[in-house]
Amino acid sequence: MKYRAFTLLMLLACLRLFAQSDIAKPAAQKALRLDLAFAGDYKETNVYLDNLSVEPYWSGSPNSNIDKLDFGVYRISVADKESGVEIYSNGFCSLFQEWQTTAEAKQLKRYFEQVVRVPMPSKPVHLSLTQRMFDGSVVEIFSLDIDPASMFISKEKPTAFPVSQIVNGGDHRHCLDIAFIAEGYTANQMDKFRADVKSMADYLFTQAPFNRYASKINVWAIESPSEGEGADNPGTGYWNRTPVGSSLYTFGIDRYLTTTRHKKVMDVAANAPADVVYVLVNTPVYGGGGIYNHYNVSTSDHPLSKLVFIHELGHGLAGLGDEYFDSSVAYEGYYNLSVEPWEPNLTTMVNFAAKWKDMIPANIPVPTPPSAEYQSVVGVFEGGGYVSKGVYRPAYDCRMRTNNAQGFCPVCQRAIERVIETYVK
């Protein structure tokens, strides 16, 4: 009887695994795209559905559909509607969430475009979107039942642009795919664009930990032409018609280069497999921006462009926080000092055990003095996240703090590796 009972239990377990595998199987490796509107002010977030559509590529690894990193302010979760089994989840951030911490958000309401992509399901699903609040709690802010067979899911093909593969690391389902978008490059400057992308890729592979994954990274160049060169620059009165509408002076900060046109960004990005969307702007002006699992932007021709490029990639790919505290920003009280930040390279010491405590040698004091004897070790240095007190960083200097650093510190490298591994399995 015990043998029969054991056999029955094993059979049921196998059937359950088979059923979940069948549920989780995506349809033809395509993506389901949700165009959303995030709207509100400094204390209110409203989410509205604009459109559902199918995109030709889902480039994420089929072996890591469930997010275990828990990075990001928002989290998207997709569950099989019939069984309730979660089949996909991931975290991300948005420009709207950053705007909510500015002075303007206390004076008026605004909306920002937000595109979310998930693997195209083969059966009806329930989608849930949650937000990590300032006090650390998690609140559902949007939900939706989706039938992939619905006639209202658009099958319209994205506007086609020529695509060049600059680096071929292999099957996009098991590689990290970085898709560069040409911004501020005219139609006769695409040779320059491809050369600029190659230059960025070459630099990337000299930097740890990316140099250890050179055979697992694809780099794509999407050749989307602009009417003129460069991005909008309100500070100088320069305006240009470009594919994704990038602009300096985001939130009034001259070097902060972003776009509020997320739908346009993802329209262009749909031309290639894209785990990371990188907007490369053809200008010698200093600037950039990077938002976790949203997009990255930087410029091509400034003397520090390569350093800015990889700093912003740290934000957009791995959710790394800014470690500087002595540069002007538009944010007001970005971090709650009584809550542990989710960024893997910042801590308020509320739950430091969950961060890089395991990487600190026993003889290193915590907090760590910024004296010369500790400037090359992993420690806990006060100052980071735009404030000099109450937020701590893991290294005296790092690419996430200054352009003078030699590269990413060991803590940031480990965080980047953990993210890359989710794509290359």
> Residue 12 — very low, low, confident or very high, per pLDDT cuts 50/70/90?
very low
Residues 168 and 66 in one domain: no
In a domain, 239, yes or no: yes
pLDDT tens string 115-166: 999 999 999 999 999 999 999 999 999 999 999 999 999 999 989 999 999 9
Residues 35 and 135 in one domain: yes
Which of residues 343 and 7 earns the better pLDDT score? 343
Which of 31, 98, 82, 27 minimizes the C-alpha distance to 59?
31
Q: What is the mean pLDDT of the chain?
A: 94
Q: Which token pair is 49? A: 């559905």
Question: What CA–CA distance (Å, rounded) separates 92 from 47?
Answer: 15
Question: What CA–CA distance (Å, rounded) separates 394 from 209?
Answer: 17
Answer yes or no: is pLDDT of 22 > 70: no
pLDDT tens string 172-190: 999 999 999 999 999 999 9
Q: What is the pTM of this model?
A: 0.93
In a domain, 59, yes or no: yes
Domain at 53, CATH number = 2.60.40.3250
Answer for the pair 299, 305: CB distance below 8 angstroms, yes or no: yes
> Residue 29 — very low, low, confident or very high, per pLDDT cuts 50/70/90?
confident
Answer yes or no: is pLDDT of 4 > 70: no
Answer yes or no: is pLDDT of 358 > 70: yes
Sign of CA dihedral 148, 151, 153, 155: positive
Residues 174 and 308 in one domain: yes
Answer for the pair 296, 262: CB distance below 8 angstroms, yes or no: no
Determine what percent of the chain is predicted with pLDDT higher than 70. Answer: 93
Residues 200 and 139 in one domain: no
Rg of the Cα trace of the chain?
22
In a domain, 207, yes or no: yes
Crossing angle, helix 305-318 and helix 410-424, to 10 degrees?
Answer: 60
pLDDT tens string 152-172: 999 999 899 999 999 999 999
Residues 38 and 135 in one domain: yes
In this prediction, residues 299-312 reach a mean pLDDT of: 98
Residues 180 and 214 in one domain: yes
Number of domains in the chain: 2
In a domain, 288, yes or no: yes
In this prediction, residues 60-78 reach a mean pLDDT of: 96
In a domain, 228, yes or no: yes
Residues 122 and 213 in one domain: no
- pLDDT value of residue 9: 47
- pLDDT value of residue 180: 99
Question: What CA–CA distance (Å, rounded) separates 4 from 73?
Answer: 49
Measured between alpha carbons, how far is residue 324 from residues 119, 355, 386 in Å? 36, 18, 6
Determine what percent of the chain is predicted with pLDDT higher than 90. Answer: 92
Answer yes or no: is pLDDT of 6 > 50: no
Task: Domain of residue 96: give its range.
Answer: 31-146
- pLDDT value of residue 23: 55
In a domain, 339, yes or no: no
Answer yes or no: is pLDDT of 236 > 90: yes
Considering 318, 348, 370, which residue would you say is the last residue of a domain?
Answer: 318
In a domain, 24, yes or no: no
Residues 309 and 191 in one domain: yes
Residues 92 and 168 in one domain: no
In this prediction, residues 236-246 reach a mean pLDDT of: 98
Could you tell me the maximum CA-CA distance found in the chain, to the nearest angstrom? 83
Answer yes or no: is pLDDT of 13 > 90: no
- pLDDT value of residue 314: 98
Answer yes or no: is pLDDT of 296 > 80: yes
Strand order in the sheet with 163-167: 163-167, 217-222, 176-183, 276-281, 295-299, 288-291
Angle ∠(389,395,401) on CA atoms, nearest 5: 70
Answer yes or no: is pLDDT of 24 > 60: no
Which of residues 213 and 19 earns the better pLDDT score? 213
Q: Which token pair is 52? A: 């559902």
Angle ∠(44,50,51) on CA atoms, nearest 5: 145
Element holding 24 (H helix, E strand): helix 2-24
pLDDT tens string 322-357: 999 988 898 989 999 999 999 999 999 999 999 999
Residues 94 and 120 in one domain: yes
Considering 318, 343, 366, which residue would you say is the last residue of a domain?
Answer: 318
Considering 146, 181, 196, which residue would you say is the last residue of a domain?
Answer: 146
Answer yes or no: is pLDDT of 1 > 80: no
Answer yes or no: is pLDDT of 25 > 90: no
Element holding 416 (H helix, E strand): helix 410-424
Answer yes or no: is pLDDT of 417 > 80: yes
Answer yes or no: is pLDDT of 300 > 80: yes
Domain at 305, CATH number = 3.40.390.10
In a domain, 236, yes or no: yes
Answer for the pair 153, 144: CB distance below 8 angstroms, yes or no: no
pLDDT tens string 94-116: 999 999 999 999 999 999 999 99
